[in-house]
Amino acid sequence: MNDLPIIIILLPLISALLSIALSRIHIHLGRNIVTAAIFVALGCAVKLFINIIKGGPVHYSFGGYKAPYGIEFYIDSIGAIIVVVILLLGFITTLYVMNFEVTNERKVIGGAYSLIGLLIVGMCGMSMTGDVFNLYVFLEITSLSAYCLIALGGSRGIVASFRYLLVGTVAATMYLLGVGILYASTGTLNMADMRNILNSHNYDTEMTVSMCLFIAAFGIKMPMFPFHGWQPSAYSHAEPGSRPLIAGVMGKIPALALFRYMYFIYGTDFKFFNLFLNIIGILSCCGIIYGSVRAMAQEDVRKIFAYSSIAQIGYITLGFAIDSPYALAGAFLHLIGHVFMKSGLFFSSAAIRYRFGSFKISSFGRIYKKMPITSGLIVLASLSMIGIPPAVGFFSKWYIALGAAETHQYRYIAILVLSSLLNAIYFFKLIEKIFINQPKELYDKRDGETVELPWTMLLAIGTCFVIILALGIFNAGVFDVIMMTVKGV
């Protein structure tokens, strides 16, 4: 039980490395091993989460070398719940993507599942590490896996992947420069040790320059306005089965890393802390409005969800900028909820394409008659995005608004209200197409079938539906878990 953190990393990592070789033995053996490894890792993550709730944060040192001389994993309540979320989405994604295997070539199938496993390893590692350079290593594992999965989306996916590769390389370089500045100043890479040294010495200039680099680096990876240029195309043209994992989860982990730097490593005593909060707040408000307005103009459902993600990331960073326990907890509740909201919407859109071959919302006329479960998830996730109870999106925005009221930053409440109205415009347009518009003649791949989709797709859609609702109904319990970490920063 003491080795749960490393087991969570090793299981999907080993299975990912073996996937292609195992696929040579049997075309689906690599796929099945990766899926099983992620499921077992999910069980370990749940156990680790329970241990942390009962006993507090976990410090795990590699090779018996204590920090700051060795590499350390540090897992608090927020990190633990995010690891559970990553592995849960990863597991249902491996089942979901089975329906999009368009080739019998063993290397391609084995390679695709290897990439999914590595993507999960990278995101879990970023969520648990307590070492700033180790964070870079896992960030690169995440990015390289995502580049390849986006490229598997076809010719447009290759172009989108190359664009993301160029911008992502710039982000990685900025991050390394920031780490280099802090390491040259403090002589340590351990997050906790670095914080102690920064607090005991005057490194305001070095901290200011490195924080600018970190905001740009993580802003590109999230993506946060105005660093979002690569995102709409990448989210729209990624490999369909893995798109929910990329769009729903990948962008949230850099947000967690930014929070670690701002509140855990730098701390609120940093001389220019409030200045950086104001900068992030302004960028967040611009992103919320920009993403919502651009989403309103889209006809392709993938582009609607992609631009919506820019706005939703803005809610998370806005919670960071408010600097209130309520707002920080609301930001993380929105982060967790948005994983299932956005993943659910991309699961649903890919399911519609799987059955009817279209991503155009003008073709969605009354598809609820043939796809009631999928349509139900689209409605619930859309209402949650808008902020209508009892879905989780209402409560996360409510906590952020409470934090803004507590700190007398009423301009942020106005932005939250305005953005919810803008969200309502394009999401209700989507709901109108599904339930009211006249149906169009589309080729129905499953015409005559009694079940709207294969069970592996329905499992993913049903899981997102249940969790969006459960996070809203039981938001107080999730809020308390998040506050275990927030109160300690």
Query: What is the DSSP code string of 133-164?
Result: HHHHHHHHHHHHHHHHHHHTT-HHHHHHHHHH
In this predicted structure, what is the pLDDT of residue 227? Answer: 83
In this predicted structure, what is the pLDDT of residue 469? Answer: 92
What residues of the chain score a pLDDT lower than 70? Answer: 1, 101-105, 443-446, 448, 488-489
In a domain, 240, yes or no: no
In a domain, 292, yes or no: yes
In a domain, 313, yes or no: yes
In this predicted structure, what is the pLDDT of residue 340? Answer: 92
In this predicted structure, what is the pLDDT of residue 428? Answer: 87
What range does the domain containing 315 cover? Answer: 283-488
Task: Return all residues near 261 (Cβ < 8 A) that are at least 6 apart.
Answer: 211, 214
- What angle separates helix 77-96 from helix 455-473, to the nearest 10 degrees? 160
Could you give the CA distance from residue 28 to residue 14 in angstroms, rounded to a whole number? 16
In this predicted structure, what is the pLDDT of residue 448? Answer: 66
Could you give the CA distance from residue 351 to residue 146 in angstroms, rounded to a whole number? 21
Could you give the CA distance from residue 143 to residue 444 in angstroms, rounded to a whole number? 36
In a domain, 289, yes or no: yes
Domain count, the chain: 1
In this predicted structure, what is the pLDDT of residue 488? Answer: 66
In a domain, 453, yes or no: yes
In this predicted structure, what is the pLDDT of residue 177? Answer: 94
Contact 444, 356 (CB under 8 A): yes
In a domain, 78, yes or no: no
Contact 317, 283 (CB under 8 A): yes
In a domain, 402, yes or no: yes
In a domain, 209, yes or no: no
In the block, tokens 């995102």 appear at 231
In this predicted structure, what is the pLDDT of residue 489? Answer: 59
Confidence (pTM): 0.92
pLDDT in tens, 363-417: 777 788 888 888 889 899 989 988 888 889 899 999 999 999 998 888 999 998 9
Q: Taking the CB of residue 433, how many other CB atoms lie within 10 A of it? A: 18
